[in-house]
Amino acid sequence: MKLHHLFSPFTVIAAVKTELDMVRAERMGVRNIFLVRSSLSELKAYSKQVEKNGMRLFVYFDMIRGLSQDKEAVQFLLNEVQVCGLVSNKAHVVKEAKRLGVYGILTMFLLDSYSLELSGKVINDLQPDAINIAPGNLPKNVRELSEQYDVPIIASGLITLPEEVGKLYEAGACAVSTSQSELWSIEWKMLEQEHHAP
């Protein structure tokens, strides 16, 4: 299944950093989790919890304490825990995730126009399952990437208000990831009504 279909038509992903965040996401019925920080032992516990609750777990590979950043570490991790996908700014991690049968999401830090230009070559060479852009609160960047590439766009970071979520949805993001738990329950139908009202 293509990643876009998992988030269709629009999803707010819970960016989880602590056990308390995970409990809150569970209570709110959140379907998709981006685990932002963890150790390998914490990840095993989170993975079991997520599986039990029918949630999908995506892990920021670069922020797992105690793992190296090579492809052997990717293999080790996927042998140890059940995840839906890996999120990384390292092309070899994304490539290895895809090879091993989970979604590979490429994080791109769009700090200036030069980094936006460079993104094209990386996207074309790697063919990630999705692009996770950070900071994600700039609809202009989302629109530009979504118009140029047939790759799902996830906006992450510095998203704190419902109206920002709506603007990113309008710009072409298939999902946003935020640690602001008050945004986790926003539904795409509500956004559609707000932003397409006559």
What CATH number matches the domain at 3-195, 3.60.15.10, 3.90.79.10, 3.20.20.70, 3.60.150.10? 3.20.20.70
pLDDT above 80: residue 197: no
- Residue 78 exposed, middle or buried by CB count within 10 Å (0-12, 13-18, 19+): middle
Which residues, listed in sequence order, are joined to residue 108 by a DSSP beta bridge? 133
Average pLDDT over residues 145-166: 93
Q: What are phi and psi of 18, to 5 degrees?
A: -135, 170
How high is the mean pLDDT of the chain? 89
Q: For the segment 26-49, what is each residue's pLDDT rounded down to a tens digit? A: 999 999 999 998 988 899 999 999
Model pLDDT, residue 41: 86
What proportion of the chain, given as a percentage, has pLDDT over 70? 93
Model pLDDT, residue 4: 78
**107 SS3 class:** strand
What proportion of the chain, given as a percentage, has pLDDT over 90? 67
Q: CA–CA separation, 33 vs 21, rounded Å?
A: 10
Is residue 181 within 8 Å of 21, Cβ to Cβ?
yes
pLDDT above 60: residue 196: no
In this structure, of 133-137, 145-149, 156-160, 192-196, the range with the lowest mean pLDDT score is 192-196
pLDDT above 80: residue 157: yes
C-alpha radius of gyration, the chain, whole number: 16
Six token digits for residue 170: 């309008």
Average pLDDT over residues 86-97: 96
Model pLDDT, residue 112: 76
Task: Give domain limits for the chain.
Answer: 3-195
Q: CA–CA separation, 185 vs 65, rounded Å?
A: 29
pLDDT above 90: residue 56: yes
Name the band, by pLDDT with cuts 50, 70 and 90, for residue 194: low
Model pLDDT, residue 198: 47
Name the band, by pLDDT with cuts 50, 70 and 90, for residue 191: low
Average pLDDT over residues 187-198: 57
Q: Say which residue, 5 or 72, is predicted with more confidence.
A: 72
DSSP 8-state symbol, 179: S
Q: Would you say the pTM of this structure is higher than 0.85?
A: yes
Is residue 38 within 8 Å of 59, Cβ to Cβ?
yes
